[in-house]
Structure formats: structure tokens, C-alpha cells
Amino acid sequence: MASSNSLMDSLFQRSLEDLIKGLRLGESTFISRSLEEIRREIKLTDLSTKSVALQKLSYLAALHGVDMTWAAFHAVEVVSSSRFAHKRIGYHAIAQSFSDQTPVMLLITNQLRKDLNSSNEHEVSLALECLARIGTDDLARDLTSEVFTLLGSSKALVRKKAIGVVLRVFDKYPDAVKVCFKRLVENLESSDPQLLSAVVGVFCELTAKDPRSYLPLAPEFYKILVDSRNNWVLIKVLKIFAKLASIEPRLAKKVADPVCEHMRKQNVGKSLLFECIRTVFSSLSNQEVALKLAVVKIREFLMDDDPNLKYLGLHALSIVAPKHLWAVLENKEAVVKAMSDEDPNVKLEALHLLMAMVNEDNVTEISRILMNYALKSDPLFCNEIIGSILVACSRDSYEIIVDFDWYVSLLGEMARVPHCQRGKEIEHQLIDIGTRVKDAKLELVRVSRALLIDPALLGNQFLHPILSAAAWASGEYVEFSKSPYEIAEALLQPRTCLLPDSIRAIYIYSAFKVLVFSLGAYFSSQEPTSSPLAQESTSSGPSMVNGFTYNSISSLVNMIELGLCSLSGTIDVEVQERAKNVLGFIGMIKHEIAEKATSQNSETEAHRAIAFMEDVFSEELGPVSSTAQEKVPLPEGLDLNENLEGLQEICREVLEPMAESDYSSDKVSFSVAKLRIRDQEEASSSLPPPLESSSLLAEHRKRHGLYYLSSQKSDDHNDRDGNDNNTSNEYPPANEISVDSFKPKKKISKPRPVVVKLDEGDEPKRKPDASSSNDESLSRAIQTALMGKGKGKEKEKEKERVKENHEMNVDTENIEQSSRREKKNKKNGERSGKRSSRRQRGKEASVTKPVEVPDLLL
Amino acid sequence: RSEKRTQKALEGKMGIRFILMVNKQGQTRLAQYYEWLTLEQRRALEGEIVRKCLARNDQQCSFVEHRNYKIVYRRYASLFFMVGVDDDENELAILEFIHLLVETMDKHFGNVCELDIMFHLEKAHFMLEEMVMNGCIVETSKANILSPIQLMDKAH
């Protein structure tokens, strides 16, 4: 029964062509039917049927996502066939589907070895290609000697493929270097352009991973650079030199001339020209002649209509921008033009280049122009623009910003851009500036007020983080506000129901701070003698209204009470609790507001309560370094590990999202969410009293007084003036970037406000990546291979000698092995004599040739 | 953005990472990978890249960034040729490589079209195997690429 079935299957097996035709007509059911057929056919013993089945399966796997790993063993069977057609199908299937996890991988070692030793060069090349795709550590190790032999093959096709496989073998089995490296280098001197192309390609990849090891080969590469006429080869060699020259500056000088020669040629191919330019920009940028020539040539790219060339031109400029900004400035018209290009990729490159040109003097103007572009652009590009501005301006603690009032209002403006989705970063920066730049608080409060009172913004979920920051700032720095009542009203407007509960909670808390501040001002303004509280409240807020009347304070309190009453029953516990807290507080002091109008008693319960709350909020919150916690000395007798596992659970949700966010973890570990915990802790006074933290700040100031600018009074004064200027100025409507944007302007007279920075920096330390042990052993192997060739340093002579001996031993081993094989191959007409003599010559040449690069090239 | 690039560790970077031929309807006609990816990863990758390239028009440049690859692509008639390379690769050279591939297939099939590739996929694979090994371009002469294939056809 089974045999007749198999006969049927064999006779009527659908070929690959049938399969493809069938696929064109119908899809998934056809595939599953075909798969069933294939499963049956592939188990048959007849190799032809099996291989056709395998062929069909490979096709389905490649193009229709069918899994073929189950057929691994059958692939091995097919490959063992003596028919070339079968081998081809088998190897193709193996190359496509085998991986490190394939269990039958071991079975093909011998097959590969057999085919690598075959006299049929096509079989050899099949095996080499397969090895290149799937080579594992074991395979590489076991087949190194075969590869070594083939590297010296007389047949160019085979040799070329052997060169191609070397990369994989070296990668998986670094010891192969000892055996094969010399042959590889020999091929560098080959006159056959085919081989040269392959060899140079291999060295290009090797050098990219580990340039230092290949430095001794620079003379060979140099010869190729000067002599070759093949663009592919030249491009690879240029890449090699780009890597080598960046670690060996003397090479840069030597290589600059030939590179310029290539650039100056009449009909140089664009790809070669581009590679030359890129090499100059990345590694030879200190060679003046080459650099100037490259900049001239890149201009041609920028002016070309071909979008590819335009894009690549901009891209190349961004490589050279950090060190040689003049190259970018020279081409600024092209960059500006590219900002309105049709191609979003081109626009993006132009944007990055523009940001590279930004400095202290032109940041306002460039931001202005970029914001205009943003308003006119699609959402994607708009957010790219906003993102770039945010990154550039906040770099190094806002190094580039001189006028913080302008910057804070720009942040507010960004919130009004319709497509803005950068809420989180804007939120972070608003708060960050609030804590670091004392003099910006006034503007911050002004901008926050504008954002808070606008009901339209509440509907845009992307803006909620910004509103959260605005709310926090308004509450924290309420003393700078012109009308606390307005703020409180905005914070409690009905439309805030659109906010997520977490932000709502912040709103409520800020309203509370406003309330406390107002009450404090009210109660203290009635006292004839100047109390410390009164002094504080009047000196810190230059634009504060003169106290509160009974009417105004009671309307404030009533308004807050009314606004919060509805919230005292919400589902969210946070919102509910805060609302109830505030309501409770109001309840406690409400009756005394009316009394205050009559009595002068400052010892009332209400008075004390308000004074206490004011005290809680009076301490200034500054930026916290990410390493601050580690610096706190452990008090004696405190065991940190006890009883904190439970806390870990709660804290994880708060701490982990910040660690993952792109921006905030890099800088200050400060966000509104964390602030909530802090506030609550403060309120319950479980932390050490505020006195300690202020003394720490004073200490910091004492130690690092150098970094604090003096005279805050003059800053305040100028601040007020500066503020007036900003509000009355119309922003110039310019849409074009004029030449003037890039000329250095006169310095503004207003001094830059103090920006608190932390001495140990805000970036968490990045751990260096551990390099893989494979790479290290490969480098070592290469280095010893090259060192063993010629003279080394005195100290290493002995090591070398030992290594040399070892190499010689290996070589003699190989010579023995291959001479044995030679005898075998002689029957097949291999020209073994030539091979061994070439090998001898190679060895001699390598021993006598000195390794020192500098001597040869300089 | 350059920071993002350098941060992504390109382990074992090998020039060309994959070569795809996809038609305008999004059907893959050839997929050659030079690094190991699972089936799901391949399908996801192909889908995303095809979408990106199909969304572009002829006035835009032939280079697209996707994750840590650069995709160099060009459309010939109904077929998109897409090559995924690492950051270091010369984009113009890859464009020339694509053109070389097309010319080679044209020489072999005579006025190559999508159907030729569909029904003779293995031939296309052989050509690619002659041209690229381990992600490096090892052969750029049409004659050298085609001669082994022609020899093999004659012999069998």
C-alpha cells in the first residue's frame, strides 16, 4: 500500500513551476494542501522526488512564511546526492533554514568537507557559499584547513569564494587566523581584479571592527589606492583608510594626496567621489587641502537636482559639521532651501544641519524661523522641529540660552502649536528651569497662567503634561503671580474634568498652595508690626497685589470650596483625598476669616495652622543630582535592607517609568510625580526639618561659590526691564533666514541669569560595553600573525620567536597535510608544485619584509 | 540622531544585511537574508519596509532609514529592489549594485520581467550568490557572475 502511494507521489509530483502557477491562482488553502503533499513526498527515498519537494518547500518558506526547519534532516539527505542538481537544491535549503539551533548541524560537517575537497569547482563553490551563510563555531573550526587550502586554489572562482567565506570563519573561530591569514594577505597583492575586489571587501569589514590590528598592512592598501582603476575596490580601500587614519594621524597626511587625485579626476564616478568626500570629512578633516577640495565638491552634490545627491550632500555635511562648521555655513542657502524640499528625508537632514549652526547669538532668530516652519508642516516634521529645538536649547543645562524669559515664553508657544506632541519634554523643561533659574520664575508664572486659563487646551491630551507643569509652577511660585484668584479659578474650572486624575490631583494641590499663600498674605497684612512672614511675602513677589481684603479672600475661599465640593466624591482616591484635605483645612480656618476683620489676635488656631502650612511651602526646591542619594551618609544603626521590600513594590511604578523615558533620567531626577511623594512626606513631617536642607544648599554655595554669579538685585532689576521689552515687542515676521542670522550680533546688555548646575553632572554614568571575548581573541590572533612576520619590539622578541616557532610548526603541519593531499590531488591533475613553491615564497617574503608602517610610508 | 545610531550596537555588521524584491502590491518575490532572523521578524521587517518605500514617490531620494538599517531601494517597472545595509555603506555604490543585478538578470533572461523572477527564482538566487558573500560584494563583472551559471546549465 505504502509503496504504491509513493509511486503515485513520485510520478505525479507537482514541480516547482506547478506550485508557482498554483499560487498565483489561490492562496492559503493551496499552500496548506501543497505542504501536505510536500510532507509526504519528502519522506520518500527517491532523491529526485525528495529534492523537488525540498525545492518547493524552500520556495514556500522564502516567500510565504512557511516554516521549513522540520525538514532539516531531509536537506542533509538531499545534499548527499551525487547529482549536482540535487546538491544545489539541498545546499540552498540548508543555507536558507539552518541556524545555530538546528540539531542536525553536526551531520553536514563531513558532507561539507567532502564537497570542499571536490575536484568539481562548482561543488566546491556550493559548499563555500553554504558555509558562509550558516557557519557555526564548530564548522569553522573543523573546516579551517580546507578553507586554507582553497585560499591558494588555482581556480579563481574557488579562491574568490574562499576569500568570501573567511570573514565568517574568522568571526566564529579566531584561531583560524593563524592558519589562513597569510594566504589572505597574499591575495592582496594579486593582480586579478576579481580577487582583489573580494579581498579588499573582507579587509574592509575586518578593519571596521578592529582597525589597530590591520595597521601594518597599510602599505599594501596604499598601493591599491594609488594603482587601482576599479571603483568598487577603491571605495573599499577608502573605507579601510578612513578607519586606519583616524587612529594613526600620520597616515592621514600620506593618504590625502591620492584621495585628492581621485576627487579631481574628470569623470570620476559619483559613488567614488562621495566616498572620497566622506573619507575626508570623517578622518582626514585636518588635512586642509583635502578638506577644502571636498567642500567644493560637496557643493556640487547640494546643487544637483537629483534628490539622492542632495540628500547625500546634506548627510555628508552633517559629518563634518562638528569640527568645521564653516563648511556648513558656506552652504547655508542650500540648507535653507532644503528645508522646504518635497522629500521628508531631505528636510530632516536640513533640520539637523540648521541645529548644528545654532549658537548663543542666533538661537532666538533661528527658533523663530523654525517655529514658523513647524506651523506650516505636517505633524511628523513639526514635531521633529520642536524636538530639535528642545534638545539643542537644553543641552548642557541650557548653555545656549541667555534670555530665559524668551525661552520660557517659547515653551509656552510650543504648547499652542496644533500638532505638538512633545508635551513630556516641555513639561520637564518648564519645571527644570523653574528649579534652576531663579530669575525666570516670573516669566514662568506668566506663561503658566496663560496656559491654565485657556479652556481650549484642556481638550488636547498631548498638552496635559504641559498643563501639569504649568499648574505646578503656578502653585509653587504663586508669590510671583499678579492675581492668585485667577490662578485658583483656572485650576478649578469645570473643564478640568477632561484631565487625567493624576494631573487633576496636581491641580488641586496647586490650588491649595495658592490658598495658603493668599491666607498668609491676608492674615499678615492686617498686623501692624512687621512679622517675618510679612517680610517674606512682600519681598519675594515684586508684582504682588497689596494684600487681600476681607471680600476678596472670602470669595477666594468660597470659590475653592465650591470647586472642590463636587470632587469630594470622585472615584479616584488621590483626587478625593486632596479635595477633602483642602476642604478640611478650609473648614478649620473659615470662621476665623470673618473674625480677623475684627480682632487682632494672632494666636488663633487658624493663624497657627496657616503659618505652619506656609512654612511647609516656604522651602525652595532645587534640582537633585541623580547621585545625590548615594552621597547621603548612613546614620549609625540604620539597616537599609530591613522592611523595605514592601516599599520596593510601591516605588517601582514611580521610579521605573522615569528610568525608561528618554530625557528626564539623563538630567535631573525630578518630575511632578516624584514631587507628589515628596510633598506628602513633607506634609507629614517625617523628613528632617527644612533647616538641614537649607544648610546643605548654603554649604554648596560656599564650596562652589565660584560658579554662582553675584548680585541678584541687579538681575531682578534687569529682569523687570527685560520683561517689559519682551511683552511690547512684535516678533519680526521674517519667514526667510537672512544672511544676518548667522553674523554674530552685538552682545545683549542684560547679564545671563544664574543657572544652578550640579558639580558631578546630571548624567548617570554609562557603563562601558564589555567587548566580546571573540573579538578580543581575533584581534590578538591577527596581531600575533602580523608581528610574527617581521621585527617586533625588543621585549616581544622572545614571545615572537615562540610564536614564530609555533607558526612554523603549524605551517609545517599544514605543509605535511597538504603535501599528503597534494599527492592525492596529483592524480587529478592539480598543480601542487606551484602551490607549495608559492607558499615557500610567501613565507620568505613575509619574514624579510619589515612590519613597521611608519618607515615605509613616511 | 547620530547618538541613536552609535548607541545601537551593530554586532557582526556585515555591509549588506538583506536583499528584497517586492512588487507594487507588496508581494515578496525574492528575499535573501545575510543574518539570521526568525520568520516573524522577517515578515514584520518586510511589511514595514515595503510600506515605507511604497509611500514614497519618484521625486524623493532612494534612501530610507529603518531601525538600525539604511534601506537603499529603486523601482524597476513593477518591482522594488530593496537592499538593507548598515550605516557605513556607500549608498550610491549600493544603487549601482542594484543596477548591476538588474542588468545581469536582464542579460540572462533577456528583457527580464517579474514573471521571470517568479518562475526562475533559483537563478536569481544563484546570481546573488555569485555577487554577494557574507554581506560583502565579491563580484561586480557581469561576465564573471553569469559564466558559472551558464556552465552549470550546460552541464546538467
Instruction: Give B-chain residues touching A237 at CB under 8 angstroms.
Output: none
Alpha carbons within 13 angstroms on the beta-carbon side of residue A17 total 4
pLDDT score at A96: 85
Residue of B nearest to A193 (CA): B139
Looking at the DSSP bridge assignments, the partners of residue B20 are B31, B82
Find the mean pLDDT for residues A474-481.
Answer: 90
Query: Is the Cβ–Cβ distance between A65 and B43 less than 8 Å?
Result: yes
Could B61 and A160 be called an inter-chain contact, meaning their C-beta atoms sit closer than 8 Å? no
Residues 725-784 of A with CB under 8 A from B: 769, 772
User: Which residues 530-569 of chain A have a CB within 8 Å of chain B?
Assistant: none
- DSSP three-state, residue A833: helix
Residues of chain A by 3-state class (helix, strand, coil), percent to 5: 75, 0, 25
Nearest to A92 among B60, B62, B125 (CB): B125
DSSP A416: T
Determine how β-strand B79-85 pairs with β-strand B16-23: antiparallel
Minimum mean pLDDT range among A225-239, A344-358, A476-490, A640-654? A640-654
CB contact under 8 A, A132 and B133: yes
Q: Which helix (H) or strand (E) holds A138?
A: helix A137-142
pLDDT of A325 strictly over 80: yes
pLDDT confidence bin for A544, thresholds 50/70/90: very low
Q: Is the pLDDT of residue A793 over 50?
A: no
Q: Which residues of A touch B88 (CB under 8 A)?
A: 208, 239
User: A555 vs A494, A550, A563, A590, CA distance in Å?
Assistant: 17, 8, 12, 11
Q: Which residues of B touch A310 (CB under 8 A)?
A: 61
Distance (Å, whole) CA A97 – CA A91 = 10
b (16+ CB within 10 A) / e for A775-797: eeebbebbbbbbbbbeebeeeee
Q: Which residues contact A99 (CB under 8 A, 6 or more apart)?
A: A134, B36
Span A346-352, mean pLDDT?
91
Least confident of A421-435, A725-739, B23-37, B133-147: A725-739
Whether the pLDDT of residue B94 is over 50: the answer is yes
Averaged pLDDT for residues A800-825:
45
Which of B133, B141, B146 would best serve as a mutation to test chain A binding (most A beta carbons within 10 A)?
A: B133
**Residues of chain A with C-beta less than 8 angstroms from the C-beta of B121:** 59, 62-63
Instruction: Return residues 119-138 of B near A (CB < 8 Å).
Output: 119, 121-122, 125, 129, 133-138
**Does A685 have pLDDT greater than 60?**
no
Chain B residues whose beta carbon lies within 8 Å of the beta carbon of residue A163: 138
Q: What is the pLDDT of residue A596?
A: 61
A63 touches chain B (CB under 8 A): yes
The percent of residues above 90 in pLDDT, for chain A, comes to 19
CA A124 to chain centre: 43
For A422-435, write each residue's pLDDT tens digit: 999 999 999 999 99
Q: Which of A20, A163, A311 sits opposite B63 (nearest CB)?
A: A311
DSSP β-bridge partners for residue B22: B28, B80
Residue of A197, A246, A305, A383 best to disrupt the B interface, most CBs of B under 10 A: A197
Q: In what order do the strands lie in the sheet with B63-66?
A: B28-33, B16-23, B79-85, B69-76, B63-66
Judge contact between A356 and A392, C-beta under 8 A.
no
Q: In chain A, what residues touch B93 (CB-CB under 8 Å)?
A: 231-232, 235, 271, 275
Please tell me the distance in Å from B147's CA to the nearest CA on chain A: 10
Say which range, A123-127, A640-644, B70-74, has the weakest mean pLDDT: A640-644
Task: Count CB pairs under 8 A between chains A and B.
Answer: 141
Residue position matching grid coordinates 553632572? A761
Query: Is the model's pLDDT at A787 over the cut of 50?
Result: yes
* Chain B contact present for A427, CB below 8 A: no
Instruction: Find chain B residues with C-beta within 8 A of A99's C-beta.
Output: 36
The pLDDT value given to residue A526: 59
Question: What span, in angstroms and rounded, lies between the C-alpha atoms of A856 and A470?
Answer: 67
C-alpha cell at A618: 516656604
pLDDT band at B156 (very low <50, low <70, confident <90, very high): low
List of residues 6+ apart from A396 with CB closer than 8 A: none
Identify the DSSP state of A155. Answer: S
- Closest-CA residue in chain B for A128? B133
Nearest to A366 by CA among A724, A725, A732, A722: A732
Contact B133 A88 (CB under 8 A): no
On the question of pLDDT at A552 being above 70, the answer is: yes
Q: What is the DSSP letter of A100?
A: T
Interface contact A198-B139, CB threshold 8 A: yes
B146 near A CB under 8 A: no
Determine contact: A313 vs chain B, CB below 8 A.
no
What pLDDT, in 10s, does the model give residues A56-94?
Answer: 888 888 888 788 888 888 899 899 988 888 888 899 899
Alpha carbons within 13 A on the beta-carbon side of A756:
20
Give Cβ neighbours of residue A815 (< 8 Å, ≥ 6 apart): A836, A839
Q: Which member of B61, B148, B151 has the closest CB to residue A307?
A: B61
* Cβ–Cβ below 8 Å for A165 and B138: no
From the list B31, B119, B152, the residue facing A20 with the nearest CB is: B119
Tell me the three-class secondary structure of B144-155, residue by residue: HHHHHHHHHHHH
Residue A625 binned pLDDT confidence (cut-offs 50, 70, 90): confident
Interchain contact B23–A (C-beta under 8 A): no
CB-based contact, A208 to chain B, within 8 Å: yes
Closest alpha carbon to A356 in A383, A323, A379: A323
CB contact under 8 A, B14 and A167: yes
Residue type, A215: L
Confidence of residue A807 (pLDDT cuts 50, 70, 90): very low
Reported confidence tier of residue A660, pLDDT bands at 50, 70, 90? very low
Cell triple for A596:
480677623
B36 reaches A (C-beta below 8 A): yes
Read off the pLDDT of each residue in A574-596 and give the average, rounded to a whole number.
Answer: 84
Does residue B3 belong to the interface with chain A, where contact is any CB pair within 8 Å? no
Angle between the N-to-C axes of helices A288-303 and A270-283, in degrees from 0 to 180, rounded to the nearest 10 = 130
Asked if the Cβ–Cβ distance from B28 to A17 is below 8 Å, we say no
CB nearest B90 (choices: A165, A235, A352): A235
Name, in order, each residue with C-beta under 8 angstroms of A145's C-beta and a sequence gap of 6 or more. A179, A814, A817
The bridge status of strand B79-85 relative to strand B132-133 is unpaired
A346 to chain B, any CB pair closer than 8 A? The answer is yes
Confidence at residue A857, expressed as pLDDT on a 0 to 100 scale = 42
Q: How confident is the model at residue A695 (pLDDT cuts 50, 70, 90)?
A: low
Section A440-444 average pLDDT: 92
Confidence of residue A169 (pLDDT cuts 50, 70, 90): confident
Sign of CA dihedral A338, A343, A347, A353: negative
Among A141-145, A209-213, A470-474, top mean pLDDT goes to: A470-474
Whole-angstrom Cα distance, residue A285 to residue A294? 9
Cα three-residue angle B131-B134-B139, rounded to 5 degrees: 20
Beta-carbon contacts of A311 under 8 Å, excluding residues fewer than 6 positions away, are A343, A345, A346, A349, B61, B63
Say yes or no for a CB contact (<8 Å) between A344 and B60: yes
Q: Is B86 touching A (CB cutoff 8 A)?
A: no
Task: Name B24's Cβ contacts closer than 8 Å, sequence gap at least 6.
Answer: B54, B78, B80
Contact A215, A196 (CB under 8 A): no
Indicate the pLDDT class of residue A749, thresholds 50, 70 and 90: low
Q: How confident is the model at residue A825 (pLDDT cuts 50, 70, 90)?
A: very low
| Between A812 and A63, the higher pLDDT residue | A63
Name the amino acid, one letter, at A701. R
pTM: 0.71
B153 close contact with A: CB closer than 8 A: no
pLDDT at A851 over 60: no
Between B61, B90, B92, which is nearest A343 by CB?
Answer: B61
Q: Which of these ranges, A406-415, A499-508, A661-670, B129-138, has the smallest mean pLDDT? A: A661-670
Q: How far is A835 from chain B (nearest CA, A)?
A: 23
How do residues A310-320 score in pLDDT, each as one tens digit?
999 999 999 98
> Which of B71, B90, B149 is most worth mutating to test chain A (most A CB atoms within 10 A of its CB)?
B90
Q: Do residue A308 and residue B29 have CB atoms under 8 angstroms apart?
A: no
Helical axes A423-436 vs A404-415, angle rounded to 10°: 160
Residue ranges of domains in chain A? 358-476, 492-618
Q: What average pLDDT does this structure show over A507-527? A: 84
Neighboring chain B residues of A88 at a CB cutoff of 8 Å: 122, 152
Bridge partners of B69? B66
Instruction: Tell me how many degrees the CA angle A804-A807-A809 measures, rounded to the nearest 5.
Output: 110
3-state SS, one letter per residue, for chain B: CHHHHHHCCCCCCCCEEEEEEEECCCCEEEEEECCCCCHHHHHHHHHHHHHHHHCCCCCCCCEEEECCEEEEEEEECCEEEEEEECCCCCHHHHHHHHHHHHHHHHHHHCCCCHHHHHHCHHHHHHHHHHHEECCEECCCCHHHHHHHHHHHHHHC
Q: What is the pLDDT of residue A843?
A: 42
What's the mean pLDDT in A370-379? Answer: 90
Look up residue A736 and give its DSSP letter. Answer: S
Residue A737's pLDDT band, with cuts at 50, 70 and 90, is: very low
Q: What is the pLDDT of residue A302?
A: 92
Q: Report, as an integer, the average pLDDT of A548-561.
A: 85
pLDDT at A535 > cutoff 70? no
Q: Which of A384, A396, A327 is nearest to A351 (CA)?
A: A384
pLDDT of residue A732: 42
What lies within 8 Å, CB to CB, of B37 at 6+ separation is: B45
Q: What is the mean pLDDT of residues A774-799?
A: 61
The pLDDT value given to residue A790: 45
pLDDT at A429: 93
Q: Is A483 helix (H, G, I), strand (E, B) or coil?
A: coil
Percentage above 70 pLDDT, chain A: 72
pLDDT greater than 70 at residue A713? no
- Which of B25, B92, B94 is the best residue to mutate to test the A interface, defined by the most A CB atoms within 10 Å of its own CB? B92
A425: which 3 cell numbers?
519634554
Whether residue A681 is predicted with pLDDT greater than 60 in this model: the reply is: no
Residue A772 to residue B11, Cβ atoms within 8 A: yes
Show the cell assigned to A187.
591575495
Answer whether B63 sits within 8 Å of A84, measured CB to CB.
Answer: no
Distances in whole angstroms, Cα of residue A535 to Cα of each of A277, A524, A538, A711, A720? 66, 9, 5, 20, 20
Of residues A89, A165, A269, nearest to B133 (C-beta):
A165
Contact B134 A164 (CB under 8 A): yes
Per-residue pLDDT band at A730 (split at 50, 70, 90): very low
For residue A293, the cross-strand partners are none
Read off φ and ψ for residue A836, nearest 5 degrees.
-70, -35
The reported pLDDT for the residue numbered A569 is: 82
User: How many Å separate Cα A671 from the centre of its chain?
Assistant: 23
Residue A511 has a pLDDT of: 92
Distance (Å) from the C-alpha of residue A657 to the closest C-alpha of chain B? 20
Residue B107 has pLDDT above 90, yes or no: yes
Banded model confidence at residue A819, pLDDT cuts 50, 70, 90: very low
pLDDT, tens digit (0-9, with 9 covering 90-100), for A331-346: 888 888 888 888 889 9
For residue A688, the SS3 value is coil
CB contact under 8 A, B148 and A275: no
> What pLDDT score does A503 carry?
92
- Report the mean per-residue pLDDT for chain B: 84
